[in-house]
Structures are given as structure tokens and as C-alpha cells.
Amino acid sequence: MFQTTKGKGLGAARPPDHESAGRSLAFELTALSKVYQRGKGTVVRAVDDLNLAVPVGQVVGLLGPNGAGKTTTIKMMCGLVTPTSGRVQLHGYDVARERPMAVRQVGAVLEGARNVYWSLSAWQNLLYFGRLKGLPRRQIVPRAESLLHSLDLWERRHQAVGGFSRGMQQKVAIAAALITNPPILLLDEPTLGLDVQTARTVKDWIARLAHEQGKTIVLTTHQLALAQELCDRVAIIDQGRLLTDLPVHELLARFRQETYEIRLGSPLDPGAAPWLDGFSVTSEDGGSRIRGPISDQNRLYDLLTQLRTQHLPLIAVEPVEPNLEDVFVQILKEG
């Protein structure tokens, strides 16, 4: 699918010296740091000594709370932010030293940005972004036709993107990122602000891009259910530091024995229950569910005692399979 000889040609995607025993790295972040000087003497360490190596064809979830450094990491990966120290390699190309070749390896949909020109049509946008990466029209046109058909945009391809719904605009942005068929796709909050149906379409797309076309995808999202469904592995960062980097199944297995769900027969206000720190509380049908890690019997009894003191009717207590949200909350709490 991709070229295997390194050269100055526009199609060069992966140099052979980075292939090894059937397993090659899509990207590698080495001791990556970013320090911002904000005002007099104020230093913000957005990313701190981040190391991450991801093989080709994986979907990686880059998760963390707001301000964790996810977007800065994504932007350093595609060369939009210059690292203070460290190195980013995309398919073996160093973003700092071999920028022209490195940026050809990625397509990006960035958070909170239009990503495409609203005054242009979807068709014009795809032609523009294809040529921007150096491709001639004869190579862009078949790809653009295919993308627009598959994203249900063909009939409206000549209309200005500014008149589209948010979901359609996001589809155009994804199509523009894919127009050169890059092996790596960086998606920063790709489903943010989308309705359920469009978010599902985008999610299905991401899954197929990874599993049918072998693309490496880096995904940042606050929708942990989406990350759990899509990602092969998850890297959780907080305050610029990598807290964990594991395959999703392995991450969930580590917390399997520790997660419990307690069902109550009445609603519970989490704000009035500070002893539930680290638990998620959901209310439904007049009752509530408390979910979270309980590492030993004493903790469980303490919790039940608190519930009894509050005269909260207990319906059930059972161990449950943890989901990514449980793990995420637990890891951040442990820091």
C-alpha cells in the first residue's frame, strides 16, 4: 500500500530501515517535552518527557483531563508546535529535520478548528488540500470522488461548506485529511459537537480506516466509551506526563477485580457524599448506581456503613467488569 523506498518522491511513505521483522513503527515520540513561557517567569510544562512508540495499524487513544497536554502532543506530532526538547518520528521521518517528508505521513483533524474553508465547496476543499500536499489533480480526483460518495456528500459537493451542518462539515474535514491517503491520521476530538447519528458514522469510519486500510490513528476524546470501542491501546496523560500506555484489554484486566457497582433504591446527590470520591454516580428510575474501585473488604464495609447511616435503601452490591471510564478515573486519582 505504501512505498518502501526512501526518496524525495512525493509518494514515499516509509523508509525500509524502519521495518523490522514484520513490525514497524508508525510513530515514535522520544523524551518529548514542551515548556511554554507565559508572562514574567511563569512556566507551563505542557508535555513532560513523553515517550511513546506505536506500531503501524493501531488505533491509539490519547486520553487525559482538560489541559493534560493531549492537543499539544498532537500538534507536536504534526509539526504545528515546535518541541522544547525531544523528537517526533513519523514512519521514520524526523518531524524537525525531515519535515517535508514527515508531514506527508499525516492527515489531521484538529479540535475546535474549522480545518476546511467554509467559503469553498467540499469539492474545492478536497482539490485544494490535495494540491497543498503536492499531489496533481489526476491523483486527487478519483480519491475525492470516492471519499465524497462514501461520506454521503456527493450530491452537495459543489455547495459551500459554510452552509453544511456541523456533522457534514466534520465529514468534509475528515475527507480533507484523508485526501492524500496518509498512513497516519491524527483526530483531536473528532466527534465533539456531533449528533448521535453523525458521531456513529464518524466512529464507524475510524474503525474501518484502521481495520480495513491499516491506518494508524491517534484519537483524543473525552468520550471514553468511544475510546474503549475504537482503540487498540490507550495512553493516559495528565499534566503533560504519561501515566499509562497499555492495550485496552490489558488495562481493563488490571482493574477487573476491583470494580463494584452498588445499586440504591433512592437518588443520591454525589455533592452531598464526599466519601464517594473516585466513584461515578448515575441516577435512573428513582434509584442510583454507584460505581468505582473497591480494593478490599474493609473499604466495602465502610461504604455500606455510610449508606446505612444515610438511610439509603440498598438493592444490590456486585463486582462488575470495569470500563475505560472506571480505569481512567482510577489512574488519574492515583496520579
Residues engaged in binding another protein (CB under 8 A): 1, 3, 7-12, 34, 36-37, 46, 72, 75, 78-82, 99-101, 103-104, 106-108, 110, 112-120, 124, 128-129, 131-136, 138-140, 142-143, 146-147, 149-152, 160, 176, 181, 197-198, 201, 204-205, 208-209, 212-213
Nearest-approach distance from CB 185 to another protein, in angstroms: 12
Q: Do residues 68 and 238 touch, judged by C-beta distance below 8 A?
A: yes
Least gap, CB of 116 to another protein (angstroms): 7
Q: Is the dihedral of CA 309, 313, 316, 321 positive or negative?
A: negative
> For residue 212, what is the enclosing H or E element?
helix 196-213
Q: Considering beta carbons, is residue 111 or 325 the nearer one to another protein?
A: 111
Q: Judged by CB, which is closer to another protein: 33, or 323?
A: 33
Q: Nearer to another protein by C-beta: 89 or 288? A: 89
What minimum distance in Å lies between the beta carbon of 261 and another protein?
33
Q: Which of residues 125 and 330 has its CB atom nearest to another protein in the complex?
A: 125
Cell numbers linked to 273: 457524599
110: phi then psi, degrees, rounded to nearest 5: -100, 150
| Angstrom distances, CA of residue 30 to CA of 34, 62, 76, 80, 87 | 12, 16, 12, 17, 5
For the CB of residue 18, give the shortest distance to another protein in the complex, in Å.
17
In the complex with another protein, the residue whose CB is nearer, 156 or 254, is 156
Angle at 254 between CA 248 and CA 255, to 5 degrees: 100
Minimum distance from CB of 224 to another protein (Å)? 22
Beta pairing partners, 85: 33
Kindly report the number of other CB atoms within 10 A of residue 105's CB atom: 25
